[in-house]
Amino acid sequence: MARKGIVALAVPVVLSALMTAGVAPARSQAPSQSPIDITPASIRVDPHLPPLQISYGHHAAGDLHYVRKDAAATDGCAVRDHEETEEFEVEPGAGHVTLSGVRYDLVQFHFHTPSEHRFGGHADPLEMHLVHRSAAGALLVVGVPLRVGAASTVDKVLSRLAPECGEEVHLADIDLNTLLPVNRATARYTGSLTTAPFTEGVQWFLMGEKTVTQATVSRFQGLFHGGNARPVQPLNGRTVRVELPHL
């Protein structure tokens, strides 16, 4: 196959929006912060990237809870802080990924509106972050943009949102494997947490999009009227590596 054809296959579906116009403002002066806007000039195809091996359970349990950032405020239960979110805490051992022989256990996944990462300036309605941690404490996050379409497992997770000051929502049977797109190709870069303390050294793996219903998007955005996404940050010379497809 010609190199041009191989490169086209290597880019996940989500990167199809690379050529759309508009770039969100960059505000951080830190050298390696997240999220970022992935532009055509930032992408490098790397045929030697180690595979991300994914081992997710099909019948996992966990609790959806509201992550508070304003617990000390008297009106905290009614006011939405921009760093708050809905987070699903996964039962230990329910899922993990392996990269270059290192295991990273899935700890939780949470959501942002609009999507924090941009592709050529394009944002999706939601973005899901699946946070993994190694035994040494290193972080690896898989990012999945969510756009309106057919129902998916994400709709089940977000069918009832946990209140900021109230009980968690327990879910007993979540197929973690179906949270990710069928095409597991990734766009990779090194960045940071997108909420305080904005710790750097986080390995980011961005995948193609999943779909959710409009009802789910509206429900989540109805809770976070002003959004809960951090603006994109400067690339500062970083590149985004894209793997070749595993045929």
Token pair recorded at residue 48: 């030697």
Amino acid, res. 168 = E
The maximal CA–CA distance of the chain, rounded, in angstroms, is 63
* CA 123, chain centre distance (Å): 13
Token pair recorded at residue 188: 């990779």
**pLDDT above 90: percentage of residues in the chain:** 81
Long-range contacts of 68-76 (CB under 8 A, 24+ apart): 68/164, 69/195, 76/164, 76/165
- Give the per-residue pLDDT at 186: 96
Average pLDDT over residues 154-161: 98
List C-alpha distances in Å: 130 to 38, 48, 62, 139.
Answer: 19, 24, 14, 10
**pLDDT-based confidence at residue 244 (cuts at 50, 70, 90):** low
Q: Average per-residue pLDDT in the chain?
A: 88
- pLDDT tens digits, one per residue of 181-227: 999 999 999 999 999 999 999 999 999 999 999 999 999 999 999 99
Q: Which helix (H) or strand (E) holds 64?
A: strand 60-67
- Give the per-residue pLDDT at 167: 95
Q: What's 204's DSSP letter?
A: E
Average pLDDT over residues 69-96: 92
What whole-number distance in Å separates Cα of residue 84 and Cα of residue 68? 5
**pLDDT above 70: percentage of residues in the chain:** 86
The dihedral built from the CA positions of residue 241, 103, 110 and 58, taken in this order, carries a sign that is positive
What whole-number distance in Å separates Cα of residue 235 and Cα of residue 216? 32
pTM of the model: 0.86
pLDDT at 107 over 50: yes
pLDDT at 24 over 60: no
Average pLDDT over residues 35-58: 95
Average pLDDT over residues 111-139: 98
C-beta separation of 192 from 243 below 8 A: no
Burial of 85 (0-12, 13-18, 19+ CB in 10 A): buried
